[in-house]
């Protein structure tokens, strides 16, 4: 496998960062997880725009233009013969001192990995998945802008550990108000009387690229959709529930904690949106 690192392709075993890189020392950096379908980068511009917005928010100057980053991703995808796969695009603060100051890191590091990813097993896509509501709360949106897709995922990882300990693959995270925010790596939707509802960004939600696509697809299919605060108890009353994400795509949730969602199967709205998403991917009518 080849990895693009700071200007060119190297063998993956030679793709190394310094132990003094602030990405390693402090989780100081930003990233994107991006799908590749048919050798093409899915929603490329949206991902690049979000990467640069995240970097700007933490005052991290990416040392390449947007087009140069796109070219680097394309080069890495081609070098690894990826037709359907996944890109991890990372920008770290770069090498600095053992102190916190980001201004002692003159040269950010940029790397691109193009490989395969299987986030959930096929049977979960066929039959739906069980999740829990984590005790770990989502970092407050008043403390850290949830729109920043940073390298510091400890908050999410602690909730993920809860899920693994419970024998499930994912956990729903609430915010400090007891409202649903998102899962450890995915956005979440519920269906209530045929209406699709998802938490607003103000609840502590990353503006997921797939989340946005699914909202658009719902509207195109005349399925009512809204962004609303969702109290935790409303999860257990939902007719349907599903998750979205670049790696997860669209997947039904059929059990939350010890309670079945609906009849314990992927509901009709979830199935319709999942099929619409697959059709959208197959159409190739995206950048």
Q: Which residues contact 102 (CB under 8 A, 6 or more apart)?
A: 22, 28, 58, 59, 60, 93, 96
Confidence (pLDDT) at 151: 97
Q: How far apart are CA 172 and CA 166, in angstroms?
A: 13
Q: Is 135 known to be catalytic?
A: no
Confidence (pLDDT) at 287: 77
pTM of the predicted model as reported, rounded to 2 decimal places: 0.96
Same domain? For 197 and 235 the reply is yes
> CA torsion angle for 232, 234, 239, 243 (degrees, to 10)?
-30
Q: Mean per-residue pLDDT for 150-179?
A: 97
Same domain? For 257 and 240 the reply is yes
Cα distances (angstroms) measured from residue 189 to each of 176, 198, 277: 19, 5, 15
Same domain? For 242 and 176 the reply is yes
Percent of the chain with pLDDT over 90: 99
Q: Is the pLDDT of residue 252 over 80?
A: yes
Q: Mean per-residue pLDDT for 139-168?
A: 96
* Domain boundary residue, one of 95, 115, 135: 115
Banded model confidence at residue 177, pLDDT cuts 50, 70, 90: very high
Confidence (pLDDT) at 12: 95
Q: Please provide the average confidence, as pLDDT, over all residues in the chain.
A: 97
Confidence (pLDDT) at 283: 95
- How far is Cα of residue 29 from the mean position of the Cα atoms in its chain? 16
Confidence (pLDDT) at 267: 97
Same domain? For 43 and 107 the reply is yes
Q: Is the pLDDT of residue 207 over 90?
A: yes
- How far is Cα of residue 276 from the mean position of the Cα atoms in its chain? 20
110 close to 69: Cβ distance less than 8 angstroms: yes
3-state secondary structure of 260: strand
Banded model confidence at residue 286, pLDDT cuts 50, 70, 90: confident
Same domain? For 14 and 51 the reply is yes
Helix (H) or strand (E) holding 212: helix 209-220
Cα distances (angstroms) measured from residue 161 to each of 151, 164, 173, 183: 18, 5, 12, 12
Q: Which residues contact 269 (CB under 8 A, 6 or more apart)?
A: 191, 194, 196, 223, 239, 240
Confidence (pLDDT) at 158: 98
Residue-by-residue DSSP string for 213-245: HHHHHHHHTT--EEE---BHHHHTT-SEEEEEE
- Domains: count for the chain: 2
241 close to 133: Cβ distance less than 8 angstroms: no
Same domain? For 97 and 146 the reply is no
Q: Mean per-residue pLDDT for 5-34?
A: 97
Range of the domain at 147: 122-283
Backbone angles phi, psi at 238, to 5 degrees: -65, 145
Cα distances (angstroms) measured from residue 66 to each of 43, 50, 70, 72, 102: 14, 11, 6, 10, 22
Confidence (pLDDT) at 95: 98
Same domain? For 195 and 275 the reply is yes
Same domain? For 45 and 22 the reply is yes
* Domain boundary residue, one of 74, 93, 115: 115
Q: Which of 16, 149, 160, 265 is catalytic?
A: 149
Structure confidence by residue, pLDDT tens digits, 56-86: 999 999 999 999 999 999 999 999 999 999 9
Same domain? For 221 and 150 the reply is yes
């Amino acid at each position: 496998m080849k990895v693009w690192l700071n200007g060119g392709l190297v063998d993956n075993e030679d793709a190394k960062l310094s132990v003094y890189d602030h990405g390693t020392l402090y989780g100081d950096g930003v990233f994107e997880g991006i799908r590749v379908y048919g050798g093409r980068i899915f929603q490329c511009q949206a991902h690049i725009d979000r990467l640069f917005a995240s970097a700007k928010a933490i005052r991290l100057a990416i040392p390449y233009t947007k087009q140069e980053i796109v070219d680097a991703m394309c080069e890495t995808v081609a070098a690894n013969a990826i037709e359907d796969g996944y890109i991890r695009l990372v920008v770290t603060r770069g090498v600095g001192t053992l102190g916190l100051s980001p201004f002692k890191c003159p040269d950010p590091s940029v790397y691109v990995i193009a490989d395969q990813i299987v986030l959930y097993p096929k049977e979960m896509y066929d039959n739906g998945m069980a999740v829990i509501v984590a005790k770990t709360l989502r970092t407050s949106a008043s403390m850290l802008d949830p729109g920043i897709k940073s390298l510091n995922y400890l908050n999410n990882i602690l909730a993920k550990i809860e899920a693994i300990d419970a024998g499930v693959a994912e956990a729903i995270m609430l915010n400090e108000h007891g409202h649903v925010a998102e899962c450890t790596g995915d956005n979440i939707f519920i269906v209530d009387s045929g209406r699709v509802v998802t938490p607003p960004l103000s609840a502590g939600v990353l503006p997921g690229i797939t989340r946005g696509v699914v909202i658009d697809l719902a509207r195109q299919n005349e399925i009512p959709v809204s962004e609303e605060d969702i109290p935790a108890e409303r999860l257990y009353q939902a007719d349907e529930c599903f998750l979205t994400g670049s790696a997860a795509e669209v997947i039904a949730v059929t059990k939350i904690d010890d309670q079945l969602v609906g009849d314990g199967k992927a509901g009709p709205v979830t199935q319709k949106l999942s099929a619409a998403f697959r059709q959208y991917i197959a159409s190739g009518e995206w950048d």
